[in-house]
Amino acid sequence: MTRKIPVKTLHRFSMIYCCLLESLAAGVSRISSRILGSQLGSTADSIRKEINYLGEVGDVGSGYDVAKLAGRISDVCGFEKRRTVAIAGLGKVGSALLENPEFENAGFDIVAGFDSNTNILETLTSKVPLYPASELTDWVKKLNIEIGIIAVPPSAAADCAARFVAGGVSGLVNFSSTTVAVAQKGIIVRNLDMICELRFINSLMTANQKA
């Protein structure tokens, strides 16, 4: 019965889950596919098809129970499993992330911070242990770090990614304005490139104007 869930759908589940937590926090206990669709910039049809990968979880006629649906997604996606995370690059963005309590709440434990600048390592005070970037690979192995966050300058991003991969992480989130690619199969890379997204918006604007 459990068909193989497409990657795209798994990504949508994360987004849906995010919406559900918000609804829950806002005291909403039931939600329809149409509402979810509008919140996620998608159609009700699409949402229903995706949720059906979870099996029957909705109540015909009255939508989904928010808590129940969230629980089902969490089960299927393994959201109850905590993951270890490390942040490389402790400039403004990196150090801001270190302090962000949302990670903890969402099930991610930041277990290390890295920077190549020893000055920063000495100045910065944090509950999270900080290490020089040169030792990154070793610590990733030692601490069993599963996900690496790249917040270094673009020029150092590729090198940084390589060190994480050498240490054996399963996933990377890249924040620098560079597209990081990893040849190795099975490692998931997500590029959150602000400049790239701005350019994309720009191109859509020009396309829209032309039309």
Partner DNA sequence: GCGTGTGAACTGGTTCACAGCG
Partner DNA sequence: CGCTGTGAACCAGTTCACACGC
Place of tokens 């969490």: 74
The distance of closest approach from Cβ of residue 4 to a copy of itself in the complex, given in angstroms and rounded to an integer, is: 8
Whole-number Å distance between alpha carbons of 32 and 37: 9
- Cβ neighbours of residue 165 under 8 Å, at least 6 residues apart? 172, 182, 184, 187
Lay out the site mask for DNA across 45-64 (x = CB under 7 A, - = otherwise).
xx-xxxxx---xxxxxxxxx
The distance of closest approach from Cβ of residue 60 to a copy of itself in the complex, given in angstroms and rounded to an integer, is: 26
| Residue list 115-144, contact with a copy of itself (CB under 8 A) | none
Whole-number Å distance between alpha carbons of 115 and 87: 9
Whole-number Å distance between alpha carbons of 49 and 30: 18
Is residue 204 within the footprint of a copy of itself (CB under 8 A)?
yes
Binding window for DNA (CB under 7 A); candidates: 1-9, 85-93, 117-125, 183-191 = 1-9
The distance of closest approach from Cβ of residue 15 to a copy of itself in the complex, given in angstroms and rounded to an integer, is: 5
Is residue 165 within the footprint of DNA (CB under 7 A)?
no
The distance of closest approach from Cβ of residue 31 to DNA in the complex, given in angstroms and rounded to an integer, is: 7
Is residue 107 within the footprint of a copy of itself (CB under 8 A)?
yes
Q: In this structure, what token pair is assigned to residue 101? A: 């309590």
| Residue 178 CB coordination number (10 Å) | 20
Is residue 146 within the footprint of a copy of itself (CB under 8 A)?
yes
